[in-house]
Amino acid sequence: MPTALITGVTGQDGAYLSRFLLEKSYEVVGVMRRSASSDIIGERLRWLGVIDRVRLVEGNLTDLGSVVRIVQTHQPDEVYHLAAQSFVATSWQQPSLTGLVTGLGAVTMLEAVRIGRPQARFYQASSSEMFGKVQAVPQSETTPFYPRSPYAAAKLYAHWMTVNYRESFGMHASSGILFNHESPLRGIEFVTRRITDGVARIKLGLTDHLTLGNVEAKRDWGHAADYVEAMWLMLQQDQPDDYVIATGRTMRVADFADMAFKAAGLTMADHVRTDQALMRPAEVELLLGDPAKAERKLGWKARVKLEDLAAEMVAADLARLSR
């Protein structure tokens, strides 16, 4: 039975990846950080019904010794490095922490693997945010990067360090340049979940409006359950490499909101307001990925349509709030 180590196991992708790997009969070891709210840790793993089958171990990306010991003890065959300060808006408020966790944290994990289990295959969670200010569309593995936030700059450092460990030490280290992916387990601060939670609250009469920031920004949104499969496929290849993972379709935030309101039988124009205070200091206006390489080399293709994703998220938020 192969062993997979997942950092960021308590996050959206960590939960879906755990379920995916357990279905493939992996032993899954998940790194979680100590929190005073230990009663709600693992809520997403619980929601997917896998909490009892994931071996949770305590570690923190800011503590090299903690993750070296985990790697040495569990001797994973595959390491999925997903942990990060992942919210772009927060990265302007906490740029140093974002650099430490999202940027240097990847090097900490690469070092832990180099020290404790150099033959393990390594996955780095890179991001379409690295493309930032639009240089070309659609964005592929060869499009120049232009990060537009402390988060994106930190991810770019982590991305290039992964390439460097591959080229310097011969590690089987791959980077997935994933475009936005969502699900009912998406953090409540991200725009899709803010929208579906808001729609559910309006539908249930708990409020009558939803306030958003830049509704003209365009994103290439897919479903997290599809995207974790791409992570696994990258580590099954003989050669490590970097891949763009996207749907190849882009929509405005306003378009997603329209889909979500329609899914609940509501009209967006009756309920949405915008507020300058929610605009970012620098915006990524347009993301549209070209997943051709992943399709060709991994045989991967996004399955879930955005309209269905919006409807699934609205239904889940309605069920949650009704409870």
Active site residues: 127, 129, 151
The amino acid at residue 120 is: A
Per-residue CA distances from 31 to 2, 175, 295 (Å): 17, 20, 31
Residue 214 binds what, of ligand GDR, ligand NDP, none (CB under 5 to 8 Å, by partner type)?
Answer: ligand GDR
- Dihedral of the alpha carbons of 98, 211, 317, 151, in degrees to the nearest 10: -10
Which range touches ligand GDR (CB under 6 A), out of 134-142, 183-191, 222-230, 241-249? 183-191
The correct pick among 7, 127, 139, 175 for binding ligand GDR (CB under 6 A) is: 127
Alpha-carbon span 6 to 79, nearest angstrom:
6
Alpha-carbon span 212 to 242, nearest angstrom:
34
| Residues in region 47-106 near ligand NDP by CB under 6 A | 60-62, 82-86, 101
Site string for ligand GDR, 204-243 (x = CB under 6 A): --------xxxx-x-x------------------------
User: Measured over all CA atoms, what is the biggest interatomic distance in the chain, rounded to whole angstroms?
Assistant: 58
Helix or strand holding residue 203 (H, E): helix 191-203
Distance of CA 244 to the CA centre of its chain: 13
Least separation in angstroms between residue 192's CB and ligand GDR is: 6
Interface with ligand GDR includes 4 (CB under 6 A)? no
Residue 60 binds what, of ligand NDP, ligand GDR, none (CB under 5 to 8 Å, by partner type)?
Answer: ligand NDP
One-character DSSP codes across 50-72: -GGGEEEEE--TT-HHHHHHHHH
Residues binding ligand NDP: number (CB under 6 A)? 24
Alpha-carbon span 244 to 33, nearest angstrom:
29
Q: How many helices (H) and strands (E) does the chain have?
A: 12, 13
Interface with ligand GDR includes 133 (CB under 6 A)? no
Is 209 annotated as contributing to ligand binding? yes
The correct pick among 97, 137, 278, 315 for binding ligand GDR (CB under 6 A) is: 278
Least separation in angstroms between residue 255's CB and ligand NDP is: 17
Cis peptide before 240 (omega within 30 of 0): no
Q: What separation, in Å, do the N-terminal and C-terminal C-alpha atoms of the chain show?
A: 39
Q: Give every CB contact of residue 289 below 8 A, 6+ residues apart in sequence.
A: 128, 138, 139, 140, 177, 179, 220, 244, 245, 246, 247, 248
Residue 217 binds what, of ligand GDR, ligand NDP, none (CB under 5 to 8 Å, by partner type)?
Answer: ligand GDR
Alpha-carbon span 169 to 82, nearest angstrom:
21
- Helix 150-169 to helix 105-116 angle (10° resolution) is 20
The correct pick among 253, 263, 294, 302 for binding ligand GDR (CB under 6 A) is: 253
Residue 101 binds what, of ligand GDR, ligand NDP, none (CB under 5 to 8 Å, by partner type)?
Answer: ligand NDP
Residue 35 binds what, of ligand NDP, ligand GDR, none (CB under 5 to 8 Å, by partner type)?
Answer: ligand NDP
Residues binding ligand GDR: number (CB under 6 A)? 23
Give the annotated binding-site residues for NADP(+). Answer: 209
Q: Which residues of this chain interact with ligand NDP, rule CB under 6 A?
A: 7-8, 10-14, 33, 35, 60-62, 82-86, 101, 125, 127, 178, 180-181, 187
Q: Which residues of this chain interact with ligand GDR, rule CB under 6 A?
A: 86, 88-89, 127-129, 179-180, 189-191, 194, 212-215, 217, 219, 253, 278, 280, 283-284
